[in-house]
Amino acid sequence: AQKVTQAQTEISVVEKEDVTLDCVYETRDTTYYLFWYKQPPSGELVFLIRRNSFDEQNEISGRYSWNFQKSTSSFNFTITASQVVDSAVYFCALSEVPCGGSNYKLTFGKGTLLTVNP
């Protein structure tokens, strides 16, 4: 069974600090996909990034960067120079390649609440 662990329940930082959100996953499959979603205080869920298990290159998008390491089954998310608008709950999620294309399942971690204080 697949599992996603976000050990940090809450993180609080001061604006302009860098912060890393941890995500560790478990899966028996060799092919899988990892995702990060953001849930701001307004409540909606916003897709941030998708990564497949064969691509371990780190990715950077503005102040956001992601570090995927298969050796440690981790897919960590770093926000550089954090801003108050980054305050949100962040979810990591795992999707395995479905067998026969019918058992599509996305498993979410329990989320990390990030608070960025001015």
C-alpha span between 46 and 114 (Å, rounded): 15
Please report, in angstroms and rounded to a whole number, the separation of the first and last CA atoms in the chain.
Answer: 41
Pick one of 7, 18, 40, 50: the residue that binds another protein (CB under 8 A): 50
95 binds another protein (CB under 8 A): yes
Pick one of 30, 47, 56, 83: the residue that binds another protein (CB under 8 A): 47
110 binds another protein (CB under 8 A): yes
96 binds another protein (CB under 8 A): yes
106 binds another protein (CB under 8 A): yes
